[in-house]
Structure 1
Amino acid sequence: MSTTTAVVPLTIQDAETLVAAARYTAEGAGVAVSVTVLDAGGHLLAFRRDDRAVLISGETSTRKAYTALQLGAPTRDLVDAVQPGGPFHTLPTALDRPLLFIADGRPVHRDGRLIGAIGVGSGAPEQDHGFATAAVETLA
């Protein structure tokens, strides 16, 4: 008899909900953003860059999501850890796939289990954090 409970993975419908919620919140603040959603394996489920979002925000939103997924924490919470003398100081350059420690990539959990991540880019760090947080709260 198994005591493990299956957790429903992040679905494309979930990913589209996350993208829509982040964009809706950003539009309300007058900010054009890029939004990336990755599944638990780090695979792209959804991506959207607003026409007016800076081009680099597509890359930064993806790297933020990947960083949040790999470390299981919001990227905003990890910024101090990669500063000189921090426990992860060399981490940004230690891997083949670059991590990005700027707010905000957020892990996405369901029933206490990590099922994916979202990254938002183009606004100020605190704005992106708010947009990603609002999106994750739609799945709660």
Structure 2
Amino acid sequence: MTTDTTLQKSAPAPSITQAAAGALIAAVHSAAARIGFTAAVAVTDPGGHLRAFDRADAAPFLTAEVALDKAWTAASFRTTTHTWNDYLTDPRIAPLAGHPRLMAVGGGYPIIDDGRCVGGLGISGGSYEQDQQAAEEALTALGFELPAP
């Protein structure tokens, strides 16, 4: 039996550009300064691999690892990190809390462009509300879509 269709063995994977990742970091630092905190900012590709990173001089060293894990979590599950607090109350999902990279703290957002996740953004340095606010401001300023609540 022959068919006219050929098996497609791969699909193009959209990913945030280096220029957009750098612009996001700059936008986050601007928002954080306006809000009143210093931050570490991580941007990953959709697979959770680091694409760009910066930690402000005054940001504590632990913020570097936390920002990366927030970006990884957001990209991995295509959802904000603050939503994980509710998810982890479900005993069927709670075992994921033991995953060493899962970060259920506000400040991690999937980077969504034209309806597709192109990466993850993680911010650490302020309160979880400040991290979330800076993320939303930066994503909006650059024309990325915010995930549905």
Once the two structures are aligned, what percentage of the paired residues are identical? 31
Which of 127, 130, 135 does residue 132 from structure 1 map onto?
135
Q: 2:29, 2:39 within 8 Å by CA — same for their partners in 1?
A: yes
Q: 1:108 aligns with which of 111, 126, 132?
A: 111
The unaligned stretches of length 5 or more in structure 1 are none
Residue 89 of structure 1 is matched in structure 2 by: 94
Matched, 1:117 2:120: yes
Q: Which amino acid aligns with 1:62?
A: L
Q: How far has the Cα of 1:87 moved from its partner?
A: 4.3
Q: TM-score, normalised by structure 1?
A: 0.88
| Aligned CA-pair RMSD | 1.8
1:74 correspondence with 2:80: yes
Note the C-alpha offset of 1:92. 2.1
Q: Are 1:99 and 2:102 matched, yes or no?
A: yes
Count of aligned positions: 134
Structure 2 gap ranges (5+): 6-11, 145-149
| 1:47 maps to 2:53 | yes
- Is the CA contact 1:32–1:123 (under 8 Å) kept in the aligned structure 2? yes
Q: Write out the 4+ residue segments of structure 1 that deviate beyond 6 Å after TM superposition.
A: none
**130 and 86 in structure 1: CA distance in 2 versus 1, 3 angstrom threshold:** farther
